[in-house]
Structures are given as structure tokens and as C-alpha cells.
Amino acid sequence: MPNKLIYSGLKLLKPWDRVKILAEIFFRLKIVRLVMFFLVILVVLPATFFLIASPKPQKQINYGVNFSAKYAQELGMDWRGTYLKILDDLGAKNIRLVAYWDEIEQNQGNYNFSDIVWQLQEADKRNVNVIMTIGRKVPRYPECFEPSWWRKIKTEDMRNDKLYQYLKVATKTLSPYKSIKMWQVENEPFFPFGTCLPIKKETVAKEVALVRELDKRPILIQDSGEGGFWFPSYNLGDYLGISMYRKIWYDFWGVLLGKSVYFQYPLAHWTYKIKADLVKVPYQKIIVTELQAEPWGPGPSGQLSNDEKDKTMSRQDFISVINYAQKSGFRDLYFWGAEWWLWEKEVNGNAFYWDSAKALFN
């Protein structure tokens, strides 16, 4: 009977008044209020977290480059001339350098640091800031660069002893150069990429301790920006280095049955900052040490056709990557591919990448 009276009363009201009364009755229901509460939680909390955690572009960005003498030689270039042009013509003031163990200790116990010492001497002359990378897994494919004799050692303990001895000698030899502002010990040691024997966490921890004992400059550990867990690497050193790739050509650990494909990471620029907050790595302690700025295709960059290169690093991609990185909020961005920029300019007659980067550095 009461429901009939309510219904009869509602019929006497204007349509808008009826709507308001029915809405009031609806929202008084307990189940409706509970559903609304949880919907608000699901929407408001993520939105609030995003507003708080999303990155703010840096007003002053420190641009840098990576340099690999090995890679310059693979492109068919004079690596010393390439390096000097990166410093003097391109104007790079921040650079990540690499000591390659397979070249330095070709014969066990005989060390030749002349190539990397020359690079550091030239950096010292120009007041360039250097991240000095040492270890057995260092930048450029195949990632691990141990001497051939080292892999023939039968036991892991004996191999590690030789590695630690090399780290000690490398640190003592290179530490006098004032251009070194930071050491990098190993490169993505816990990320399964490259033709490498596995590296255990305790081994890297021992390497870090050896370097820290000999020199007080900060230590950076590198991890994959896209696939790494970050905190285990950061926890071993003082800074975390990460990669930032957009388009690649890759077979994901055999998942695709040996077939590599072109792939674009579906990551917005703000995901790196939010990931840093979630894994408890201070955002200010993260350096983008590998910002993709060259092609990644089915072969060495210098042997790809223009069509193949454009699939992962066209002119538009190059500008897009820079804008993406700038919006990510990181203060330090080190480009990956400066050697290729020069190759494109001098061999392929395409100065776009070199000149565009040069405008940033100057």
C-alpha cells in the first residue's frame, strides 16, 4: 500500500520533481552508496597518484653521449678522429666511456690501457665530465667483452678472482684522471641480454666494494629502463643508469621462435617516473645513460638500407625521442648513437642527426 501511495503521489508531480525524488530514494539505498564509494576510490586515488607522481620537465637538462671506440671501428671510421669530433665539433661535455677488458688484457697479466687513457686525457684537456664504465659486461653488443683466456678458466671462483684483479688494476690506472666524475661497474648485469655468462649479485657487490675501496667517486649501476627491476641494481651503488628505447627489432628471448620483429614499446613518458616511485628508487638518482638515437634493425646500422633505418630511427623518430625524453623529467640524458650520426654525415651525406644534436649541445 505505501508503494502505491508513493507512486500515486509521484504521478501528481512535475517530471523533473519526480526525477529528483526517485534519485534521492535510489542514492539512499545502502548497496548503491557502497558501489559509489568504491567507484570513487578506483577513480580518484589513481588520478591523485598520477597528478602527484607524474614527472615535470627539467628546466636545465644535461645532455651527453656514449662513445665506443669498438663501435666507431665497426662503422669503418677512425675512432680517434670520431671521438675528437664528438668533443670539439658536436660539443659534448658529458660522455660515457668504456674500457674493454678483451683489448686491455689480451694476454693474462699484461695490461694495455693506452686507448682508454688517451680518451681520458683528451677529456681532461676539455673539462669534459666522464662516466667511466668498467667490468666484463659493458656497452655495445655482444655486451660481454672478456678476454678469450678468461672463458677457458674452469671454475667460477677462479674466473671471479681474475675479474677482481682486473677491476683493481683498472681503477688504480684510471683514477688519476679528473674528468671521471662517476664509475659505472658492469652494464645491465642482471638483465638477460647479450652473449654473456650469468653475473651473480654477490659478484657485482664485490666489484663495487673493490672500486669503492680504491676511489671515493660515486658508482652507477645500469639496468634496463624497459624490462629491469631497478631497485636491486640501484641498491648496489649510488646512482641508477637506465636505457630509454622506443622502437626496436628483436626476438624476445626466443618467445617468437627465433623470429625478430619490429616493436614499439607502449610506454608513455611518465611511466619511468611512476615506476621509480613504485620501486623506491629516488628519481634524482636516475640517469638515462642510453637514450636511443640510432636505428635498431636486422644488421649493423652502417649496413642497413635507408628504409630499414627509418623503421626505428627516422628523422621524425629522432625528434620524437628527444621530446619524449625531455618530458620524462630526467635531468641527465645520454644519447646512444653519436658515432652513427657522424657516419651518416660523412659517409651517407646526411647531416640531419649530427646537426640536430649539435644544436642541443650548443
* Of the candidates 301, 308, 288, 306, the residue with the CA atom closest to the CA atom of residue 131: 288
Neighbours of 92 (CB within 10 A): 27
pLDDT digits (tens, 9 = 90+) for 247-268: 999 887 666 667 888 999 999 9
Residue 64 contacts residue 332 (beta carbons within 8 Å): yes
Residue ranges, the chain, pLDDT below 70: 1-29, 32-53, 253-257
Q: How many CB atoms lie within 10 A of CB 3?
A: 7
Per-residue model confidence as pLDDT tens digits over 56-80: 999 999 999 999 999 999 999 999 9
CB–CB of 352/315 below 8 Å?
yes
pTM over 0.95: no
* Per-residue pLDDT at 5: 45
d(CA 124, CA 131): 13
Residue with cell 642497413: 304
All structural domains of the chain with their residue ranges: 2-43, 60-361
pLDDT of 54 reads: 77
Residue/partner pairs of 176-179 with CB below 8 Å, 24 or more apart: 177/117, 177/120, 177/121, 177/123, 177/124, 177/130, 178/124, 179/120, 179/123, 179/124, 179/127, 179/128, 179/129, 179/130
**How far apart, in whole angstroms, are the C-alpha atoms of residue 36 and residue 232?**
40
Give dist(CA 230, CA 176) in Å, integer.
30
- Maximum separation of any 2 CA atoms in the chain, in Å: 102
Contacts 24+ apart (CB under 8 A), 296-301: 296/245, 296/247, 296/248, 296/249, 296/250, 297/249, 298/249, 298/260, 300/74, 300/75, 301/75, 301/337, 301/340, 301/343
User: What per-residue confidence (pLDDT) applies to 362?
Assistant: 85
What is the pLDDT at residue 153? 97
- Identify the CATH number of the domain defined by range 60-361: 3.20.20.80
The answer to whether the CB of 218 falls within 8 A of the CB of 166 is no
Q: What was the pLDDT predicted at 355?
A: 98
The partner residues of 124 in beta bridges, in order of sequence, read none
3-state secondary structure 302-332: HHCCHHHHHHHHCHHHHHHHHHHHHHCCCCE
